[in-house]
Amino acid sequence: MKKLLIVESPAKIKTISKFLGNDFKIMSTVGHIKDLPIKKLGVTLGDPIQLEYDTIENKAKVIAGICKEASTADEVFLAPDPDREGEIIAWHIGQEIEKVVKDKNKIHRISFNEITKEAIEKSIEDPHKVDLNKVRAQQARRVLDRWVGYEVSPILWQKITKGLSAGRVQSVALRMICDREDQIKNFKPEEYWSIGGTFNTDDDNQVVALLTHISSKKAKITNEKKVKEILSELKNTDFSIKSIEDKKRTKNPLPPFMTSTLQQAAVNQLGFSVKKTMTVAQQLYEGVSLQDPTNPVALITYMRTDSLRISDTAIKQARSVIPKQYGNEYLPARANTYERGKKSKAKTQDAHEAIRPINISISPAQIRPFVSDDILKLYDIIWRRFVSCQMTPALYAQRVVTIKGGKYTFGVTGSTLLFDGFLKVYKPEETEKDQKVIIPDGIRANEPVSLKKVDPKQHFTQPPAKYTEASLVKEMEQQGIGRPSTYSATLSTIQTRQYVIKEKKKFSPTELGYKVNNMLVENLPKIMDYKFTALMEEDLDKIAQGEMGRDDLLNEFYETFEKDLKQFQGTIGSKKTLQVTSISCPKCKDGKLAIRIGKNGEFVGCTEFPTCTFTSNFKKNSDGEIEIIANQGPKLLDEKCPECSRQLREIPGRFGPFTACSGYPECKYVHAVKAQFPCPSCKGDVVKKNWRGGVLWGCKNYPKCTFAVFGDIEETPCPECKSPFLTKKTYKAGSTILTCFNKKCSYKNEE
């Protein structure tokens, strides 16, 4: 009997093939095989709404190969990933297979959350049909994103500059960053004071406490005058220990990871970007080589999930390992179970498990000799987080001391760790940063104490912190904006579009980002509204669960969207919006300088253009005021030329500044940005060059070697063939396509 099993990623083929017999042929779709057309909308309103699908470039050969095998197979199993994207891939390839297979009943859909022999065999024994509700939910999401991207982006080109894009989720994420920046700019610090006191007992025991209450009311000290009054009164006040309260406090383990919490932990603890986290997690899910390079092992369950559910099998495995490895006292009487927090507005989608190690007996130490540092680090926190989630709480002895004198009350709380519990395996970041407060044992209630030292400190309230990748993902998850599969792409897009910049791991909106955001908020308030975006995600969940019709959601959305869009389009003929500053043009003195956007980013230009052609680069100072950067000639650098040891200099060029030797023309050295991979043709260096058509990456050994890539690249290995880089192309409609440079590989990803 010949059977065909079709997966989404070719990286899974080796991992799965070792579990199945020789009668199974395993093939891959290499991601999506069909999508809405790139150069047109592809959505026609009606009853029903019609969607036009095109075969993705280079996928015709993949489809033909799969269909050829399916035509002679006795059974076909569709096994793309267990989410909505995977469901529509199964639906699309199933449609193609049905064209060549007479008996449609031999086509089955199977799903598994982990790549293990048991999970795969169980899924084959219990096949089902493609879930059309999930397919419709994916279609609805794709259409919503297509409408916003294709209908709104051209208006932004007309009003601001070409090459911009809008997105249903990305634009709301941009708004979150802009809103936070506005909160920071508009924040007015408020003064407040704290007063610490050092108290001694007759036995020379010392207690340091803070003033907490004045006349039974919470101490609120807002100025130095009030501080001086209090200090004067404290000098003449007698104090004693009013009470000592000893109690025990437990700290419960954190739940296992889901996508958003894994991304946050990887950013905070490992310094990974969200994108890098998902790339490494994908490798762990699909399988990595350990002792036998030909036998990859899948190490974690599916990494795109918003569920905290743990299978009974995994819980039993953890509960058998914990007492053996750590002792019986670390195993709770009952297994720990977890649910999503009440603060989160997002609802759990699909019946996935939490992210966990497939086999808890494979420890991080065991894989260390065989894997990269990145894989080891991510697996380590996944493994430790899961093991710890099934352990006992940590136990603290807590002592609360209250010191009172007249109308003034001081207090201090100290904690001592009695039993580490789950902290033996996994220490949350906040636990590692806890400051230890030591309170002496020899103090007694009602014992008189003397105030030996007073320490007043002035403070000011602080503005909210700028978003990091971790905190933005956390806020998006809590607000219900986006889903696990979209966080990484959303953060990448708003940075690629130069709507935000990341400095010291913190996001700030650019002037361009502000312009786009303000324009969208003003003209398309509904799609930029946090609550509306979250409700749309809930409605997509309802479609996936069969509780709402796809077209009901789309028609309701488009009715309002079309009205707002027409009003937004109504002013296309007017001049592009300019942010005019109060700075007079230094050249003509008549005009003002306005922020404009060109091919190389933002600059200021005279409002009297074309009469006055003054332009200049600019920067913003700490107060947000614009400062002109004078156009400079060549600038000597501290670096030495690697060829002749003369000083290098930065020179303004036609296509932007470049670095070259100051000894030109005797020395013709020009510094070039070098790729991290060698030339595929001759193994020489690959360098970045600017030309009138944009950017190219070419071999430094030109003309002997003619290797060149015209356009930008992303130095990320291809997920399918491991080619060292992907080519990047941005279309007018706003989408970015990443494609493998290897012509034999058909990998493509649209962002």
Helix H or strand E encompassing 36: none
The first and second tokens of residue 300, run together, are 């974690």
Q: How far apart are the first and last CA of the chain?
A: 41
The first and second tokens of residue 328, run together, are 């019986």
Surface-to-core class of residue 394, CB atoms within 10 Å of its CB (0-12 exposed, 13-18 middle, 19+ buried):
buried
Degrees (nearest 5) of the Cα angle 418, 419, 420?
A: 125
- The beta strands (E) that lie in 342-482 are given as 394-405, 408-419, 448-460
Other beta carbons within 10 angstroms of residue 729's beta carbon come to: 12
Alpha carbon distance 201, 452 (integer Å): 10
Of 477, 257, 278, nearest in space to 354 by CA? 257
Other beta carbons within 10 angstroms of residue 175's beta carbon come to: 22
The first and second tokens of residue 724, run together, are 């060292």
Of 428, 252, 424, 390, nearest in space to 310 by CA? 390
Q: Which residues are registered as beta bridge partners of 223?
A: none
153 HSE (CA, 13 A, CB side): 23
Alpha carbon distance 502, 164 (integer Å): 19
Longest distance between any two alpha carbons in the chain, whole Å: 99
How distant, in Å, are the alpha carbons of 114, 383, 392, 446, 499 from that of 364?
18, 7, 22, 53, 39
Q: Is residue 154 within 8 Å of 162, Cβ to Cβ?
A: no
Degrees (nearest 5) of the Cα angle 226, 229, 231?
A: 110
Q: What is the chain's alpha carbon radius of gyration, rounded to the nearest angstrom?
A: 31
Annotated catalytic, 302?
yes
Long-range CB contacts (within 8 A, 24+) of 273-279: 273/469, 273/491, 274/469, 274/473, 274/487, 274/488, 274/491, 275/488, 275/491, 275/492, 276/374, 277/378, 277/488, 278/303, 278/304, 278/488, 279/716, 279/719
Other beta carbons within 10 angstroms of residue 597's beta carbon come to: 20
Tokens 């309103």 belong to which residue? 45
The 10 Å CB-count burial string (b at 16+, else e) for 85-121 is bbbbbbbbbbebbeeebeeeebbbbbbbbbbbeebbe
User: Residue 281 corresponds to which amino acid?
Assistant: A
User: Residue 736's Cα: distance from chain center in Å?
Assistant: 18
Of 748, 749, 746, nearest in space to 63 by CA? 746
Of 572, 594, 578, nearest in space to 515 by CA? 578
Q: Which of 302, 379, 467, 499 is catalytic?
A: 302
Q: Is the peptide bond before 509 cis (omega within 30 degrees of 0)?
A: no
Q: Is residue 49 within 8 Å of 102, Cβ to Cβ?
A: no
Alpha carbon distance 581, 670 (integer Å): 38
503 HSE (CA, 13 A, CB side): 7
Surface-to-core class of residue 62, CB atoms within 10 Å of its CB (0-12 exposed, 13-18 middle, 19+ buried):
buried
Catalytic residue numbers, as ranges: 302
